[in-house]
Every structure is written in structure tokens, then in C-alpha cells.
Chain A
Amino acid sequence: MDAKDILGLPKNSFPSSADKKPRPPKESQRKPDGISREVYALTGRMPPLMPSIDASQLKKKHPPHEKITWQWLPFTNSARKDDLHLYHWVRVVNGVPPTGDYSFAKYNKSVDIIKYTDEEYEKHLTDPMWTKEETNELFDLCGRFDLRFVVIADRFPSSRTVEELKDRYYSVSQAILIARAASSGDVATHPLIKEPYNVSQEMERKRALSMVLSQTRQQERKDEEVLVEAKRIAELRMASKVTEQPQLVVASNADAEVTERAVPGETISPSNVQPPSMVVPSATDNASTLASLRMLRVYLRTYALDQMVQASNSSAGLRTIKRVEQTLQDLGVNLKPRVPTKAVCAEHLELRREILTWLNLQKQVQYKEAEGSSFRDGSYGETPGTPKDRTFIPDSMNFGDIHKTVVSSERVGKKDQKRKAHGGPPTSAHKRPRKQKASDL
């Protein structure tokens, strides 16, 4: 009902029994052609704004006056070098067969292999490792197999590795290109010249790949451990190093072979407002925080303070940190200084550290008390170190009391000794109950 109100529709549009009869015939009258009733209802009972594609339009329409026949006709393929005639079914329109080359002939691409003459060979291409016959054979195979060196290596008469064949092919092509070029500048952009084939690199790369492939699971795990370790060391080194653009090379250990030839280098270019965990590698140490701050080219004083606070907080648990903050609030100190100058930040940091010390001391005193009390009472009812019994208020009052009672009882004792005669018994009687109270606090 409310929904209709919001939509602005008239209420009571629900068909009452009186309306029921006229309605169905009305609806069925409106049933559209072309689409089903349900689909029409989905569109909100309105014809679509855009004219939809008429289904009959999708059928291919052949001009009815054309006469189509299919004939079994011969054809030739320009891609073939022989004169083979084959037959296939051809769609003939009005008695005219289609013209043009075999439609798949255009896909017959091949690689342009450089062909050298004998003199060129004598002049530029002789090589102690390769005979002329072998080189010719290689080029022939390259042409036949479109530079698919794996196949070529397989077909090559003498056993040469793929890398050797590639090396020979590319260096010959390069030499020819350079020899034939009018000037060296012309061919400088040719891909063969721009990026020459590097045999040793290729061999190394393939060897490395095969090593990775053949690595056992154990080896994988060892590698990972080493890399993690290396990364950690790199980060530690980074924190203490002061270089212009900190870039480190992670040296791999001898036993676990690093697969890639390019040893991973690490660059840390911190942007200045970043989650601290990304920028500061080991924030546990204050010195390392300072060092990492110095590595930034520029930073905000508040950011530096945050980092230092985090560093000093890292040794404390969450509860302790909360207590530090509560203490700061109790003291009336802003958790984040309003005027974060260098001096203010330094003071703030020192204050935080002192509060931490204070809280730690409180804990220690608590613990000592618990220890002491269990020793004194000798009671099994009280378990040592149950600080829950003690309501802890960071207020010197309680401690002052303990302090006073302990000292006073000692002092009283001394007084007793001095007085010798009078005043002794009543004070000593007080001694015991008081001391026992100290443990119950």
C-alpha cells in the first residue's frame, strides 16, 4: 500500500471481484504478436522504444531471380608449385562459375631466407666451426621448415644443437645484411642487427629453465627459504645503508641455484604517505626507524612521529598500548600533538617511553607483591601472581600506603629498641595486623 503511495499510483487498483470479469478479456485483447505474453509483461506492457530486429530479417535473403546451382569443378592452387588439379563443389550463380584464385592460397606464407652467393660466402661468411656444405644445408632446411629450428635440428645431418644452428643462421644473416647494406646506418634498425642472437645467454637460460623444471619439491622449498632469508637480509641492509637510490642486489647462495640470470634487485622508493609496514622494514628498532626515515627524501613531522611511536610500541602488547594512551589522556596530553614541532615531537616520544617504563614498573611491583605475599602468608588459598584480585589504579596513593606501613613498622620497631622501657608493647601489637594488611590490599 505504501509502495503505491510512493509511486503515486491510485490505491485500490487491486481488482475487486466486480472488476475481475472485464479484466481478463481486456488483457487478452492486448496480447501482442511476435512475442509471448509473459515477455511482453516483462517489458511493462509497452512496446520497446527501439525497433527490435525482426526475426525474419535474420534469414539470409537470396534474390529470388538468381539461379543457384552447385557443380563439381576442377581448381588449381597458386600456392602449389606443381600443377595439381583437384576437384571440388562450386557454387555457380546463373551459370557463371566464380573466378579468382583458390581462396586459401593467400594463407601460404613463408619466411624470407637470405640467399648468399658463393663469393659472398668466401668473403664474409667463412667460419672455422662450419663447413660450407653444412651452412648450405642449414639454410636449405631453414627455408623448407620456415625457421622451425627444433625440426631443423632434428633433420640436420650432423648433430648440432638448436643453439648452434640458430647462432650460425643469425650470424650469417647479419653478416650478409651488413655486407649488402650501403651504409651501416641503413640496417641499424633491422631486427636482426638491433637484437643479435646471444648464444651463451640462450644456453644459460635454457639450462636454468630445465633446472627449474627438474627441481624436486624439496629443492623448491629450500630455494624459497633462501630467497626469504636473502630478502630479509637485504631489507636489514637497506635500513642501515645510506645510499642515493637504494638498490640492492640479493645474492643467491651457492647451494641453491637461483634460476633467473637477472638477480632480483630491490628498489624502495617510498611515497611519503604510505602504510608504515611498507616503508619501514624492521620497525622494531628505533635506530632502524630513524635510518629509514633518513632514506626518505622528504617526510612530514607527524609521519616521523608515528613511525617512532610504532617502533616503541612494537615491544608492547595491545593492552599496554591502550594503557599508555589512557595515561596520556589522563595527563591531559594530546595523543597527537597539536603543534608537532621537532621539540614537541621529541618530548612527546620521551613521555610515551617514560609512561611505558612506569607501567612496566607497576607490573613488576605487582608481581613482587604477589610473590612476597604468598611467601609471607604461607597460605594456599592465595595463589601468587593473581593481579585480578588487586584493583589497579595508577595512583601513588595505594603504594604510598604500603610504603608507609612498611617503613613505619620498621621505624616503630627501631623506636622500641631505643625506648627500651615504655611504649613498647602497644606499638609492637600493632605491628602484626598492619603488616598482614599489606598483603590484602
Chain B
Amino acid sequence: MSHSQTLPLKRQQGEQPPSDDGSSAIKPSRLKISLPSEDSDKKNANKRLKDVEICVPIVYGTIAFYLGRKASESQSHKWTVYVRGASNEDLSVVVKKVVFQLHPSFNNPTRVVESPPFEISECGWGEFEIAITLFFHSDACEKQLDLYHHLKLYPEDESGPQTTKKPVVVESYNEVVFPEPSEGFVARVQNHPAVVVPRLPVGLNLPSPVPFDPMNDKERGGTKDHPLSQWFLNFSEADELLKLAASRQQVQAHIVKLRRQLNLLEGLPQSKQPSGYECT
């Protein structure tokens, strides 16, 4: 189910929205200006699919190890901040580069990672907020997406001495949604495991996708065999869905009861005989 609605009078792509003075700065790449000489595929590559929602589930977070004996005052922990596919697939099909903005006390606090795995490892002593900016390939989206993550070094349980064996892991699950992807983009990623593509509308003719070959370098960008993968958390929507469904049932039951009661209450005053109470 995509967030599609039948919006009235969808403006045919290619038409300029009403503007004055030619002051509108519409990027030419977004318009479907059909030149007769162009290939029909190319023509359609920029067309936006309104009823298709592309979704890329990601997990981002940090893993921090206490250095134990090797720890110094300024470098007590070794940590890694990363963005990975939720099922450890290769995100580079959609993500062009990731920029991690570290605390200014780090050398070159702006770290740019242009190929998977999208991660930065560092040593330090302090916790701070890391700004993670995702940049996508131009056929996906020209705009960047910002995420924020607080680097946690010290475990919740402050009871015992810190262990070097078990790291402090904080991960967040999220989904990057492309509400109206271009045909070209959909065609390119439709077979890729990192991307969730819904059932395409009937009659939509996309150029055949590049077949996904898990054996070739596409999979190398994934994090299935990542050295830290043993610490990755599991995000299963099943538990949450179950909980939500159960809660909804409960609430719905309450609603039914109250509705019944309301009806009764509304019926009550008429059927009551005041004289029956006034005496005694």
C-alpha cells in the first residue's frame, strides 16, 4: 500500500507550472521534455511513477569497545559509526556517499565515505552527537537526508568494571522512502535486495533490470560478513506488529463497550419515571 491518492488534475509532467517572468528555476533533468530524437527509454527514464513507493530499510548506529589495558586518557574507547542495510544488503545501489560529521575535536571532523561499507572508526573518550548525512545517486534523489545518532561509550549498567569483550551497541532502524521515484531509478533497483519495491502497476513497462548477481562485487558492499556483524541487532517488525494488533483489539473492545453504554444512557432518561424515585 503506497501513500497514493487520486489527486485531481495531476499536472502532466513536462508542463510548466504557472510562473511569471520565467523566474522559475525548474531543473531541466526533472522535466519530461520529449525530444523526438531521443530514445523512448531515455524519455521515460525521468518520468515519475506516482503510485510506486520505493523504500530502503536501513540501520544506523555505533558500536564502541572499551580498550582496557590499551586505553589512555584521551583514547579510552574504539568505536565505529555506520549505516548499513537493515538486512545487511549493499546500500551503494541507492546511496552515493555518506558524510559523518564528528565532534570538532577530531581531526578532519567531516568524514566522507563514498563506497560501502559506510562507516567510520575512531578512538576517543567522549560521547557526542554524530550527524550522518546520506547522499543519493542522482536518479534517486538530488536532496540529502540527515540522521542524528548519539555515540554511547559507557554501558547502562554501571555496576562492574568495563569489559573489553562486549561492546556498547546502539542501533536505530529506519526506512528511506522515495515517494515518487523516477522510472529509471525503479528500473535500476527493482531487483536489488536492499530495496523494497512494491508490486508495480499493471501495464508499466520498465526496461529489463540488471539481474542481481550475489556473487559479483554487488554483494561485497553488503555487511553480511562484516567483522562487527555479530553485534548487529535484530529488528523484526513481527513483534511490534503483534503488540500493536493486540493493543488495537483491546482498544476496539473498549470502544464497543462504551458505544453500547452511550446508547443506553441516551435511551435512559426517557424511560425513567421520576415519580418512582421521589417517594420515600
Residues of A within 8 A of B (CB): 240-249, 262-263, 265, 267, 269, 271-273, 287, 290-291, 293-294, 296-302, 304, 327-328, 331-334, 337-344, 346-348, 350-351, 354-355, 357-358, 361-362, 364-365, 368-369, 371-372, 375-376, 378, 394, 396, 399-400, 402-403, 406, 432, 435-436
Stretch of B36-44, B101-109, B122-130, B253-261 at the chain-chain interface: B253-261
Within the complex, the shortest CB–CB distance from A267 to chain B, in Å, comes to 8
Residues of B within 8 A of A (CB): 1, 3, 5, 7-8, 10-11, 13, 17-21, 23-27, 30-31, 48, 50, 55, 57, 136, 140-148, 173-180, 235-237, 239-241, 243-245, 247-248, 250-252, 254-255, 257-262, 264-266, 268-269, 272, 274, 276-278, 280
A272 and B143 within 8 A (CB) = yes
B244 and A368 within 8 A (CB) = no
| Additional 19 contacts, C-beta under 8 A, given A241-B11, A241-B17, A290-B5 | A240-B7, A240-B8, A244-B31, A245-B24, A246-B17, A247-B24, A271-B144, A272-B143, A294-B3, A332-B247, A337-B240, A339-B240, A351-B244, A358-B255, A365-B261, A365-B262, A376-B272, A399-B257, A432-B280
A351 and B19 within 8 A (CB) = no
Give the distance in Å from the alpha carbon of A57 to the alpha carbon of B115 in the complex: 65
Please list the 6 inter-chain residue pairs (A to B) with the smallest Cβ-Cβ separation, ordered nearest first.
Answer: A301-B175, A347-B244, A361-B258, A368-B265, A298-B141, A331-B247
Chain A residues within 8 Å of B57, by CB = 341
Interface CB pairs A-B, < 8 A, 24:
A242-B180, A243-B17, A244-B17, A245-B17, A245-B25, A245-B30, A248-B18, A249-B20, A267-B25, A273-B145, A294-B179, A297-B142, A297-B179, A298-B141, A331-B251, A333-B247, A334-B240, A347-B245, A347-B248, A351-B248, A365-B258, A365-B262, A399-B257, A403-B264
A300 and B175 within 8 A (CB) = yes
Partner of B261, one of A242, A263, A403: A403
A344 and B178 within 8 A (CB) = no
Partner of A298, one of B21, B23, B25, B143: B143
Give the distance in Å from the alpha carbon of A265 to the alpha carbon of B16 in the complex: 14
B145 and A272 within 8 A (CB) = yes
Within the complex, the shortest CB–CB distance from B182 to chain A, in Å, comes to 10
Chain A residues within 8 Å of B262, by CB = 361, 364-365, 368
Partner of A299, one of B179, B237, B268: B179
Partner of A304, one of B7, B10, B177, B260: B177
Most buried by B among A290, A358, A369: A358
For the residues of B in contact with A, the DSSP-based class is: mixed
A432 and B277 within 8 A (CB) = yes
Give the distance in Å from the alpha carbon of A435 to the alpha carbon of B52 in the complex: 59
Within the complex, the shortest CB–CB distance from B69 to chain A, in Å, comes to 34
Q: Select from chain A the residue with minimum beta-carbon distance to B32.
A: A244
Chain A residues within 8 Å of B244, by CB = 333, 344, 347-348, 351
Chain B residues within 8 Å of A402, by CB = 261
B241 and A344 within 8 A (CB) = yes
Chain A residues within 8 Å of B180, by CB = 242, 294, 297
Chain B residues within 8 Å of A338, by CB = 173, 235, 240
Give the distance in Å from the alpha carbon of A19 to the alpha carbon of B13 in the complex: 94
Chain B residues within 8 Å of A240, by CB = 7-8
Partner of A358, one of B177, B241, B254: B254
Chain A residues within 8 Å of B17, by CB = 241, 243-248
A372 and B268 within 8 A (CB) = yes
Within the complex, the shortest CB–CB distance from B38 to chain A, in Å, comes to 18
A265 and B23 within 8 A (CB) = yes
Q: Select from chain A the residue with minimum beta-carbon distance to B50.
A: A242
Within the complex, the shortest CB–CB distance from A345 to chain B, in Å, comes to 9
Chain B residues within 8 Å of A361, by CB = 255, 258-259, 262
For the residues of A in contact with B, the DSSP-based class is: helix
Chain B residues within 8 Å of A396, by CB = 254, 257
Chain A residues within 8 Å of B277, by CB = 376, 432, 435-436
Partner of B146, one of A242, A272, A287, A375: A272
Knowing A347-B248, A368-B262, A396-B257 are in contact, say whether A300-B269 is a contact too (CB < 8 A).
Answer: no
Partner of B248, one of A263, A300, A350: A350
Within the complex, the shortest CB–CB distance from B15 to chain A, in Å, comes to 9
Within the complex, the shortest CB–CB distance from B138 to chain A, in Å, comes to 11
B258 and A340 within 8 A (CB) = no
Give the distance in Å from the alpha carbon of A115 to the alpha carbon of B262 in the complex: 96
Chain B residues within 8 Å of A297, by CB = 141-143, 178-180
Chain A residues within 8 Å of B25, by CB = 245, 247, 267
Q: Select from chain A the residue with minimum beta-carbon distance to B274.
A: A378
Q: Select from chain B the residue with minimum beta-carbon distance to A395.
A: B254
Give the distance in Å from the alpha carbon of A396 to the alpha carbon of B252 in the complex: 12
Knowing A263-B20, A332-B247, A333-B247 are in contact, say whether A340-B173 is a contact too (CB < 8 A).
Answer: yes
Give the distance in Å from the alpha carbon of A375 to the alpha carbon of B270 in the complex: 10
Within the complex, the shortest CB–CB distance from A329 to chain B, in Å, comes to 11
Q: Select from chain B the residue with minimum beta-carbon distance to A351.
A: B248
Give the distance in Å from the alpha carbon of A354 to the alpha carbon of B246 in the complex: 13
Knowing A297-B142, A343-B241 are in contact, say whether A245-B26 is a contact too (CB < 8 A).
Answer: yes
Chain A residues within 8 Å of B274, by CB = 376, 378
B240 and A271 within 8 A (CB) = no
B143 and A271 within 8 A (CB) = yes
Give the distance in Å from the alpha carbon of A108 to the alpha carbon of B18 in the complex: 52
Chain A residues within 8 Å of B27, by CB = 244-245
Knowing A240-B7, A344-B240, A354-B252 are in contact, say whether A300-B265 is a contact too (CB < 8 A).
Answer: no
Partner of B145, one of A300, A347, A372: A300
Chain B residues within 8 Å of A435, by CB = 277
Give the distance in Å from the alpha carbon of A403 to the alpha carbon of B27 in the complex: 65
Chain A residues within 8 Å of B26, by CB = 244-245, 247
Partner of A399, one of B136, B146, B261: B261
Give the distance in Å from the alpha carbon of A354 to the alpha carbon of B272 in the complex: 33
Chain B residues within 8 Å of A369, by CB = 265
B142 and A342 within 8 A (CB) = no
Chain A residues within 8 Å of B144, by CB = 271-272
Give the distance in Å from the alpha carbon of A244 to the alpha carbon of B32 in the complex: 10
Within the complex, the shortest CB–CB distance from A379 to chain B, in Å, comes to 11
Within the complex, the shortest CB–CB distance from B1 to chain A, in Å, comes to 7
Chain B residues within 8 Å of A346, by CB = 1
Q: Select from chain B the residue with minimum beta-carbon distance to A341.
A: B237
Chain B residues within 8 Å of A355, by CB = 251
Give the distance in Å from the alpha carbon of A290 to the alpha carbon of B143 in the complex: 19
Give the distance in Å from the alpha carbon of A272 to the alpha carbon of B13 in the complex: 24
